[in-house]
Structure 1
Amino acid sequence: MIYIKWIFNLCLLTILSGCTTGKPTNVEPITHFDVNRYLGQWYEIARLDHSFERGLDQVTATYSLNPDNSIKVINRGFNSENQQWQQAQGKAKLVNQPNIGHLKVSFFGPFYGSYIIFALEDDYSAALVSSYNYDYLWILAREKDISPELLHRYLALAKQAGFDTNKLIYPQQ
């Protein structure tokens, strides 16, 4: 019985670490990342559907530095169905080197998921972000909208990486 528990715990640890450091096959984090420039508010331009943001518009993500050098994450959106704001607070940490755009984010205690920035404008005005698999994709920007040219470029990058861009949701800002 102890052997079975040990195997179960080992499998669980392996699965959870895959969520933390895993990434889609064709996605590589940027290598010119500066966390201080990334801090601040981002607007969600597009996303793949998932339960924790379903039905939300006016979605923002705000990043600030915690005293322990981790990153405070506040995700916020308006649910028009029940006319209420919803907010989740989490914590992010760099996975590898500080210049690599690969973080791990937690909204649920000790459980972390990958946050991979795989495209970022030089002026930090827009970003293309994934998680550990092809079910998660976000286009984020500092303004409530982006140019059609930038959107087209990010959609092409996402499609080239293997994401189904036809399934993207474009929340109202």
Structure 2
Amino acid sequence: MNKKLKTKSWFKKMMVATILLGIGTSVMTHAQKPMPTITQVDLAKYLGVWYEIARKPMYYQKQCARNVQAVYTLNVNGNISVENSCVNTDGHLEQAQGEAYVVNAPHNSKLRVSFLPESLRWLPVGRGDYWILKLDANYHTVLVGEPKRKYLWILSREPHLSEDVVQEYIKYAQSLGYNTNDLIRTLQTEKNN
């Protein structure tokens, strides 16, 4: 009888260990899957103003309270000038100037962005991944992320987006392995300050 109990106990422990190992392997395998981007981005259509609808927490945006937006324009180097802005908790406008570099031409769905001072942007450091993960055909809504799944943005051409569309993009992010439980919804008001 005692031997049967030990066998059952051992069997239960092995089952639990096998299940945990399987879950761990599944999570690791999913996290190691390459991050898919969209096939092709027409940069001319992508340029312009984008309003932030939601984001994962990011150190560089912790001061942003509302009206977060990005303006992308083509610069003289053939790269993309980036102007990010938001209104902080004190009601002041915060701005950051950067430059984005396409790293997978001619597909144009993977960029690296630098917010270093302009005189230092030639350095191959301080650049963050900016990957276009989902983009509607009209270039109205975009999901931007990076391969480690730490940062994520939902952007729109309008300051407000229907909840159905927001949920569609959140679900797509989840299907890529993103944890969206900490997603911050961006407050967009009529005035910029």
TM range (shorter): 0.7 to 0.9
**5+ residue gaps in structure 2?**
1-30, 189-193
Partners in 1 of 2:159 and 2:36 — Cα distance? Answer: 26
Q: For 2:84 and 2:33, how far apart are their aligned partners in 1?
A: 27
What residue identity is the alignment partner of 2:81? K
Structure 1 or 2: larger strand share? 1
- CA–CA separation in structure 2 for the residues paired with 1:46 and 1:26: 23
What are structure 1's unaligned runs of at least 5 residues? 1-22
Residue of structure 1 equivalent to 2:129: 114
Q: Residues 72-111 of structure 1 correspond to what in structure 2 (within 5 A)? A: 72-80=81-89, 82-108=90-116, 109=121, 110=123, 111=126
2:78 to 69, 73, 76: 69
Offset at residue 98 of structure 1 (A):
2.5
Give the Å deviation of 1:26: 4.8
After the TM superposition, list the runs of 4 or more consecutive aligned residues in structure 1 that deviate by more than 6 angstroms: none
Amino acid at match of 1:147: S
2:169 counterpart of 1:161: no
TM-score by structure 2 length?
0.74
Alignment of 1:3-152 (within 5 A): 25-56=33-64, 57-80=66-89, 82-108=90-116, 109=121, 110=123, 111-152=126-167
The equivalent residue for 2:22 is none
Q: Identity rate of aligned residues, in percent?
A: 37
Give the letter for the 1:36 counterpart: A
Aligned residue pairs total 150
Give me the whole-angstrom Cα distance separating, in 1, the residues matched to 2:175 and 2:168.
10
Q: CA deviation at 1:73?
A: 0.2
Q: CA deviation at 1:153?
A: 0.9
Over alpha carbons, which structure has the higher Rg?
Answer: 2
Amino acid of the residue matched to residue 67 of structure 2? Q
Distance 1:125 1:28 in 2: 20
Structure of greater relative contact order (alpha carbons < 8 Å, 6+ residues apart): 1
